[in-house]
Amino acid sequence: MRYLLVALAVAGVVVSAFALHAHYSTRYLELPCDINAHWSCGLVNHSRYAVVLGVPVAMIGILGYTLLGVVAWFRLRLQFMALSIIALGIALYFTHIEANVLHMWCLYCVMSQ
């Protein structure tokens, strides 16, 4: 189970890195995840909701997935559960932002969630 959780954390880091790339891209309307008017990683990652206290949300995702992977590796079950619940709350908040405020989805964000 530990290896599965670490592998999922690594996948989360990779997807968050793609989102961070979209955040810093200057050609964000030409990204491969910009599919149509409802699916645009570039527009979501350049919205005012893409930064929290000066830190890109994608970077928070990279750090969060890394922390989850480390905690899973060392089999710290209670800490893993607590961090997972916090991460779920954050993911649900940003899902709400995409669905009800921006009315636009980021493919990388959905994959991360």
Check residue 9 and give its pLDDT.
Answer: 98
∠ CA(13), CA(86), CA(18), 5° rounding?
20
Residue 105 DSSP class: B
Question: Which residues of the chain are modeled with pLDDT < 70?
Answer: none
Check residue 81 and give its pLDDT.
Answer: 98
Check residue 34 and give its pLDDT.
Answer: 83
Check residue 33 and give its pLDDT.
Answer: 83
Check residue 74 and give its pLDDT.
Answer: 98
